[in-house]
Amino acid sequence: MKSNKMFNDLLKLSFPTMMAMVLQSVYDIVDMAWVGRISSEALAGVTLFSTIMAIFLFLNEIIGASSISLISQNYGRGDYERTNRVAEQTITFKVFVALIAAFLLYFLLEPILKLYSKDPKIIEAGLNYGRLRIYFLPMFFASYSINTIFRCAGDSKTPFYIMLLATVVNLILDPILMFDQIPYMPFKGFGLGVKGAALATVISIFISFAVGLVIIFKGKGIIKLSLKGLFRLDYEIDEALIRIGFANGVQVLFRFLFAAVIIKFVSYYGDYAISAFGVGSKIYGFAFFPISGLSMGGSVIAGQKLGEDNIELAEECARVTGFFGAFIMLVFCVYIMFNAQTLVGLFSGEKEVLELGAGMITYSTIMLPLLAYGFGLAVVFYGSGYNLPIFIAGLVSQWFIQLPLLFLTVSVLHLPIKFMYSTYMLADLGHFLTMLFYYKRGKWKYSRVS
């Protein structure tokens, strides 16, 4: 009975979040699908930029993870004044660090692109797409925080509707801005190529940010932000945001750095392999967006229960989140087994990309149900602010397990690319076992933030 109630509470909070995450993935995928119609070089360029930008997103993740703990626990214990102050600082501090990230990324983008490819068309595509995205990085960071604030206060529907609006706008603008002749329609487009894809994305981000901010300032819920609070830094809260989220941020940095390392190994197999990896990564990521939404909802519930000192219900939340996530991933894996080439074919019709991409998503998704269960257990780490296990799990699975296997299969034995993709299986198993160990150890039960 208790599990049924927890499942219903989790579904009520998580389902709109999961759908919002799916919508986020949809417009990422739509971008890639349209870019794939331009050329494989354009697809490779956008893939490389996305990988490079992801490295700088660790700053967003530091503040994002800690804000969930701080907002949800203060909300759970009824300290709404503190909740409002933390919410304001989350947005302000995100914009501040995004400006730093944008400055660094702008000047480092071209030399980093040249580390991966010597093809001028690929580099040009990466620069044309990336520089426009960089200008709007502060707004991108802040829009994440606005949606987190809604969810931590128990409102997961508003972020869903905001994301739905942004996705529809992106779907409409992509073909109009990218092509000279709008596909399937008798109208002329703007013919901006990959710049058009980037422009459609940043317009969608602007809409998401602006609408969310207006709704929060109307203050219909408990959380009410002040304009004055957004134009000052509160060093005590900012220090807490960094301290609590640091382990998670470093883990995310290492994860994104590792993605950059994988791309380097993939590049040994040629430019088609890079394009295929970009497509496969988007499909792989599509599976994780609902899991991320589920995890975010579970983290909010766990944080609120720990704020009430109800450890038993926090444990129940972790178990229910884990089993539900594993079930979702199992369904996804079965679907992939029979439809891998069809999915990759949505992005590119080139035979080489089709075969390589299908191989990637088939081999790399086998252990995802176990990985999803581990993500479910991790909601108590996010909710409590005890984020060290998340960092260690990422370090062990990627750098201590997968990296040596990649070096062995690619650089030493020179095996076909399918063996490189197979390294994901052991890495995912290692991640799950590490999460399980720290969950059972139980230190999270005594960790609190303020």
What would the two tokens of residue 163 be? 């994301």
Q: Among 12-26, 162-176, 287-301, whose mean pLDDT is lowest?
A: 12-26
11-49 pLDDT tens trace: 887 888 778 777 777 767 777 788 888 888 898 899 889
Burial 229-241 (b: 16+ CB within 10 A, else e): bbeeebeebbebb
How many Å apart are CA 288 and CA 368, to the nearest integer? 9
What was the pLDDT predicted at 317? Answer: 93
Residue 335 phi/psi, 5-degree rounding, is: -65, -40
**Residue in this structure with the two tokens 């909710």, named with its chain if needed:** 383
What was the pLDDT predicted at 200? Answer: 93
What was the pLDDT predicted at 220? Answer: 66
Q: Which residues, listed in sequence order, are joined to residue 188 by a DSSP beta bridge?
A: 181
How many Å apart are CA 242 and CA 307, to the nearest integer? 20
Comparing CA positions, the residue from 300, 369, 286 lying closest to residue 10 is 300
Dmax over CA atoms of the chain, in Å, equals 63
83-135 pLDDT tens trace: 889 999 999 999 999 999 999 999 999 999 998 888 999 999 999 999 999 99
Q: Are 317 and 6 in contact (CB under 8 A)?
A: yes
Q: Are 201 and 170 in contact (CB under 8 A)?
A: yes
What was the pLDDT predicted at 209? Answer: 94
Identify the burial level of 83 via C-beta atoms within 10 angstroms of its C-beta, where 0-12 means exposed, 13-18 middle and 19 or more buried. Answer: buried
What was the pLDDT predicted at 64? Answer: 83
Find the DSSP H helices in 231-308: 235-267, 271-307
Overall number of domains in the chain: 1
Q: Which residues, listed in sequence order, are joined to residue 181 by a DSSP beta bridge?
A: 188
Strand, helix or coil for residue 442: coil
Q: Report CA 225 to chain centroid distance, whole Å.
A: 26
What was the pLDDT predicted at 357? Answer: 87
348-399 pLDDT tens trace: 778 888 888 888 888 888 899 999 999 999 999 988 888 889 889 989 999 9
Residue type, 387: N
What was the pLDDT predicted at 264? Answer: 87
How many Å apart are CA 165 and CA 180, to the nearest integer? 25
What was the pLDDT predicted at 270? Answer: 86
Q: Are 340 and 287 in contact (CB under 8 A)?
A: no
Range of the domain at 78: 2-446
Comparing CA positions, the residue from 20, 32, 39, 50 lying closest to residue 344 is 32
Comparing CA positions, the residue from 215, 222, 238 lying closest to residue 86 is 238
Q: Give every CB contact of residue 309 below 8 A, 6+ residues apart in sequence.
A: none
Q: Are 225 and 88 in contact (CB under 8 A)?
A: yes
What was the pLDDT predicted at 325? Answer: 93
Q: How confident is the model at residue 409 (pLDDT cuts 50, 70, 90)?
A: very high
Q: Are 278 and 63 in contact (CB under 8 A)?
A: no
313-334 pLDDT tens trace: 999 999 999 999 999 999 999 9
Neighbours of 98 (CB within 10 A): 24
Q: How confident is the model at residue 225 (pLDDT cuts 50, 70, 90)?
A: confident
How many Å apart are CA 139 and CA 145, to the nearest integer? 10
Calculate what percentage of the chain has a pLDDT beyond 70: 98
Rounded to an integer, the average pLDDT of 224-244 is 86
What was the pLDDT predicted at 287? Answer: 77
How many Å apart are CA 399 and CA 23, to the nearest integer? 31
How many Å apart are CA 399 and CA 403, to the nearest integer? 5
**Residue in this structure with the two tokens 């706008």, named with its chain if needed:** 169
Report the chain's mean pLDDT, rounded to a whole number: 88
Helices and strands (DSSP H and E) totals, the chain: 18, 0
Rounded to an integer, the average pLDDT of 413-424 is 91
Sequence-separated contacts (24+) of 416-421 with Cβ below 8 Å: 417/266, 417/269, 417/273, 417/356, 417/359, 417/360, 418/359, 418/363, 420/265, 420/266, 421/359, 421/360, 421/362, 421/363, 421/364
Residue 425 phi/psi, 5-degree rounding, is: -65, -50
Examine the pLDDT at 307 and tell me if it is beyond 60.
Answer: yes
How many Å apart are CA 294 and CA 375, to the nearest integer? 9
Q: Are 57 and 256 in contact (CB under 8 A)?
A: yes
Examine the pLDDT at 3 and tell me if it is beyond 70.
Answer: no
182-193 pLDDT tens trace: 988 888 999 999
